[in-house]
Amino acid sequence: MTPDVNERFSVAGQRAIVTGASSGIGRAIAERFAAEGADVAICSREQDNVDPVAEEINESDAPGECLPIECDVTDREAVAALVETTVEEFGGLDCLVNNAGASFMADFEDVSPNGWKTIVDINLHGTYHCCHVAGDALAADGGGTIVNFASVAGVQGSPKMSHYGAAKAGVINFTSSLSAEWADRDIRVNCIAPGLVATPGVASQMGITAGDIDRTAVDRQIGRSDEIADLTQFLASPASSYMIGETVEIKGVPRIGEGGGD
């Protein structure tokens, strides 16, 4: 008998960690998971940044609980504490969403060694730390899912983003490699590569907010955080059970014809 479709897409009852969840995409994912009945631990480098998010979720009608934890994903001991606290509070771990990231735009010759290291540490090494620490907890109760976050900049490159694109390309390859290794642990690993999304950071840099986005037409070049949450929920749910090691680009209308000619 085919399972109920709604159940296939459900994350109800899951225990999840979402990194970088103080705003934007991470916050939208945390809100979605809690609304769907998952208990979710959220983290940011500053406790004051995640406390209001958790408070709002816990005071809402969402059936899931939200636990705010201060954690810098580049700090191995802090990541270990994040996973340990989550498992102690929720009784286990079913899903890890590696959303924490950082970027800045600069010509390659202006990217200092420290700037390069900072971006790679947060985006690539942070993803490594979280997966490496959380693996045993995810495998303990019959397996789970990992959703890593890359970027279209890691797929095809982007001017003034060499450092960020290189780190995100590493995340994509890491996802493919880890998915093959951990399949026998019943841990499914996939990756999301978003294009431009109307996050608070984009709003401050470009003046574009989610409210400015027209969803009455298919021709679209910028996304909303809740649309990224849709895909994240899918990858964390049984509905994506046949997807392993994939990187899914979510970027709107393909810009065909922008490539070079013969």
Percent of the chain surpassing pLDDT 70:
88
Mean predicted confidence (pLDDT) in 113-139: 98
Highest mean pLDDT: which of 1-15, 148-162, 214-228?
A: 148-162
207 or 72, greater pLDDT: 72
Confidence band of 199 (pLDDT split at 50, 70, 90): confident
- Give yes or no for residue 214 having a pLDDT over 90: no
128, 164, 174, 234: the catalytic one is: 164
Short-list 101, 94, 7, CA closest to 45 = 101
Confidence band of 221 (pLDDT split at 50, 70, 90): confident
Q: Is residue 255 part of a domain?
A: no
Q: Is residue 1 part of a domain?
A: no
Confidence band of 261 (pLDDT split at 50, 70, 90): very low
Percent of the chain surpassing pLDDT 90:
82
- Give yes or no for residue 194 having a pLDDT over 70: yes
Encode pLDDT of 176-186 as tens digits: 999 999 999 99
- What's the CATH code of the domain at 186? 3.40.50.720
Short-list 199, 188, 79, 193, CA closest to 128 = 79
Mean predicted confidence (pLDDT) in 220-233: 91
- Give yes or no for residue 260 having a pLDDT over 50: no
Q: Is residue 12 part of a domain?
A: yes
Q: Is residue 113 part of a domain?
A: yes
One-letter amino acid for residue 112 of the chain: S
Q: Is residue 13 part of a domain?
A: yes
Note if 242 is an active site residue.
Answer: no
Q: Is residue 215 part of a domain?
A: no
Q: Is residue 233 part of a domain?
A: yes
Q: Is residue 213 part of a domain?
A: no
* 3-state SS track over 133-194: HHHHHHHHCCCEEEEEECCHHHHHCCCCCHHHHHHHHHHHHHHHHHHHHHHHHCEEEEEEEE
Round the average pLDDT of the chain to a whole number and report it: 92
Three-class SS state of 132:
helix
CB 136, CB 184: distance < 8 Å = no
- Residues 185, 90: Cα–Cα separation, whole Å: 21
Into how many domains does the chain fold? Answer: 1
Confidence band of 252 (pLDDT split at 50, 70, 90): confident
Mean predicted confidence (pLDDT) in 113-120: 98
| Structural domain harbouring 124 | 7-194+224-250
- Give yes or no for residue 258 having a pLDDT over 90: no
